[in-house]
Amino acid sequence: MSTHPNASGLDQPPPARTMSRRRLLAAMVGSAVAVGAGVWASRKWAKPIPGGAVMNPRLFTFVGGETGTWSVLQIKAVVGETLPDVKRLDILNTTVPALPDAAKWRLHGVTSNERYATRAEKDLLVAKQAALGRPGATHAALIPIRKNAKWWGLTQDERRGIFEDRSHHVKTGLKYLPAIARRLHHCRDLGENEPFDFLTLFDYAEADSAAFEDMVAELRASEEWKFVDREVDIRLVREGV
Ligand code: HEM
C-alpha cells in the first residue's frame, strides 16, 4: 500500500479522500528513481517520464533516515510536534513515492515564485545571495514551518504588512548574506495533509554558526512568528570538500 505523510510528518496509509490525488501524483511522476546529484541535488532539467508527463524540476524531497550526505546533529521542536530522530538526511531533487527502507520520514516541497519581495528587495537579494552547496558550507539547517489558520485567512497585503513592514524579514535576512545561503520550498498546495507549509533550508561555514543563531533568534522574536504553530529545527553537518 502506498503511504502518506500525516500531520506529524510520519508516513501513514492515505486517507480515502486524498487517495485519488496521491495516485494521480504518483502516475504523473511515475516510478521516478530518486537520484541525488551533488550535495544539494540541484538538477535543473525536467525529467521526461513514461506516459509523456514531465516531472516538476522544482520538487524536492527530504528523507530522514540512515543515508544521505548530511549527518543530523539535532532535531528540536521550536513549537508544536517534533519529527522523529534520525541519523542522516538525504535531499533529492525528485519525488520519493514510498518511504525508503529504514527511513522514518519524508517531506516534499517545491521552489516557487516570490510572493512578498518587492522589486527593490529582489534586486538586493539577487546582488548579495550565494547558492547552496559552496565547498566550505559544511553546516546546514532544515527548518520546516507551519503557519496557523489566522495567517492563511489574511489577505496578501495584510500578510506582506506583517512579513516585512512590521517584522522586517527581508531586511533582517539581507544582513546575513552571502554568509548564509538559503532555499525556500512551499508545501501548502501539494495536498491536504502536508505536515508543514514551508521547508526552509540554509547552509553556511562553521565560522558563521553564531551569525546564523542571531538571525534565527531575530526572526523568531518578530510578529510574523506569532503565526507559526509548528516549527522543527534540524541541524546538519557534512565533511568539507
Ligand atoms: C538568510 C537569511 C534570509 C533571507 C535573505 C530570507 C529571505 C526571505 C524572502 C525574500 C522571503 C519571501 C519570498 C517571497 O517573496 O515569497 C522569505 C520567506 C520565508 N522565509 Fe526567509 N529569509 C531568511 C532567513 C529565514 C530563516 C532563518 C527562516 C526560518 C527560520 C525563514 C523562513 C521563511 C519562511 C517560512 C518564508 C515564507 C513566508 C511566507 O510565505 O509566509 N527565513 N524569506
Q: Which domains does the chain have, with CATH numbers?
A: 4-237 (3.30.70.3420)
User: What pLDDT, on the 0 to 100 scale, is given for residue 50?
Assistant: 61
pLDDT for 169 beyond 80: yes
Query: Rounded mean pLDDT of 180-209?
Result: 97
d(CA 26, CA 16): 15
d(CA 188, CA 17): 17
User: What pLDDT, on the 0 to 100 scale, is given for residue 233?
Assistant: 98
d(CA 105, CA 181): 25
CA nearest 151: which of 121, 117, 188, 119?
Answer: 188
- Nearest-Å Rg of the Cα atoms of the chain is 18
pLDDT for 132 beyond 60: yes
CA nearest 178: which of 221, 208, 139, 145?
Answer: 208
Residue 170 near residue 125 (C-beta atoms within 8 A): yes
The predicted model scores a pTM of 0.84
User: What pLDDT, on the 0 to 100 scale, is given for residue 37?
Assistant: 36
The residue to mutate among 78, 162, 182, having the most atoms of ligand 1 within 8 angstroms of its beta carbon, is: 182
d(CA 132, CA 69): 14
Query: Rounded mean pLDDT of 156-163?
Result: 98
- Residue with CA nearest ligand 1 atom 14: 114
- Residue with CA nearest ligand 1 atom 22: 173
Lowest-confidence pick of 33-42, 179-188, 219-228: 33-42
Residue 210 C-alpha to ligand 1 middle, in angstroms?
Answer: 19
User: What pLDDT, on the 0 to 100 scale, is given for residue 46?
Assistant: 54
The residue to mutate among 150, 156, 169, 215, having the most atoms of ligand 1 within 8 angstroms of its beta carbon, is: 169
d(CA 222, CA 68): 33
User: What pLDDT, on the 0 to 100 scale, is given for residue 41?
Assistant: 54
Residue 183 C-alpha to ligand 1 middle, in angstroms?
Answer: 9
